[in-house]
Amino acid sequence: MKILILGGTAEARQLANRLVGMGHDVITSLAGRTQEPILPEGGLRMGPFGGIPGLCAYMRAAGIERLVDATHPYAGLISINAVAAAEATGVRLVRYMRPAWEPQADWVHVGSAQEAADALPPGADVLLTTGHGGLETFLERSDCHLHVRVIEAPHMDLPDHVDLVISRPPYGLEDEKALMRRHGITHLVTKNSGGGQTEAKLEAARQLGVVVIMLARPHYGPALEVGSVDAAIEALDLPGM
């Protein structure tokens, strides 16, 4: 069966590798924002589709029979487009959504990057782990010192109150604590991405008394949503299973 995976996560790679091993024709689509991504087995395409019409056209031309949205929980527009494209083409859509971290009583919950930036007090030393999206909003807080952790440097000039921390997960607890101590971090701004690769920062923040500002997950519309690779394979309802 021909399966299109909208990828970019470790779980998307695991799913592609499993499905290829089962004998399916798998194509993984990556946004192309990371210069040296870890690639899955099977076919690969890079870059945007061109909105809902482009995704529909690609799926029809490629003969896609199943669609999996295994992008980051905060991927945004592509997840919205996947719902519309699945409805338009009649293709079964499975959304892999990494289980969220359990909310803690002392987290500051916000709904947007602007709300997160507004929640920072003057003079805060901030570890910002929300990626490139919405970065400009935080840069306006020149009264704070921002330590921006990203896999790759953004293509923009950064002001003096911003430092880059270039690294790739997974991260260990002791490393996270050392990073926070080294930079005198008072506030952690992050997304509820779920999973174990980046969870250590939350425990490090708890142990060190760092305030956690958590961006809420967006909602993308109806889909058959699962929380594990095994469940995704089962939900695809593949022949012979």
Q: Given this model, what pLDDT does residue 35 score?
A: 66
pTM: 0.84
In a domain? residue 127:
yes
Q: Which domain holds residue 80?
A: 2-99+218-235
CATH code assigned at 45: 3.40.50.720
Closest to 134 in 3D by CA, of 117, 151, 119, 155: 117
Q: Given this model, what pLDDT does residue 241 score?
A: 66
Q: Buried (b) or exposed (e) across 104-143, using 16+ Cβ within 10 A?
A: eeebeebeebeebbeebeeebbbbbbbbeebbebbbebee
Q: Is the domain of 95 the same as that of 130? A: no
In a domain? residue 57:
yes
Q: Given this model, what pLDDT does residue 197 score?
A: 85
Q: Given this model, what pLDDT does residue 237 score?
A: 95
Q: Is the domain of 79 the same as that of 143? A: no
In tens digits, the chain (241 residues) has pLDDT values of 999 999 989 999 999 999 999 999 999 999 876 667 789 999 999 999 999 999 999 999 999 999 999 998 988 899 999 999 999 999 999 999 988 999 999 999 999 999 999 999 999 999 999 988 889 999 999 999 999 999 889 888 999 999 999 998 889 999 999 999 999 999 999 999 998 888 999 999 999 999 999 999 988 888 999 999 999 999 999 987 6
Q: Given this model, what pLDDT does residue 128 score?
A: 98
In a domain? residue 168:
yes
Q: How far is the C-alpha of 122 from the C-alpha of 145, rounded, in Å?
A: 9
In a domain? residue 240:
no
Q: Is the domain of 34 the same as that of 90? A: yes
Looking at the structure of the chain, the number of domains it has is 2
Q: Is the domain of 45 the same as that of 61? A: yes
> Are 215 and 131 a contacting pair, CB within 8 Å?
no
Q: DSSP for 72-140?
A: -TT--HHHHHHHHHHHHHT-EEEEE-PPPPPP-TT-EEESSHHHHHHTSPTT-EEEE-S-STTHHHHHT
Query: Backbone phi, then psi, for 15, in 5-degree steps?
Result: -65, -45
Q: Is the domain of 17 the same as that of 115? A: no
Residue 17, C-beta contacts closer than 8 angstroms, at least 6 positions apart: 40, 41, 42
Q: Is the domain of 118 the same as that of 211? A: yes
Q: Is the domain of 84 the same as that of 146? A: no
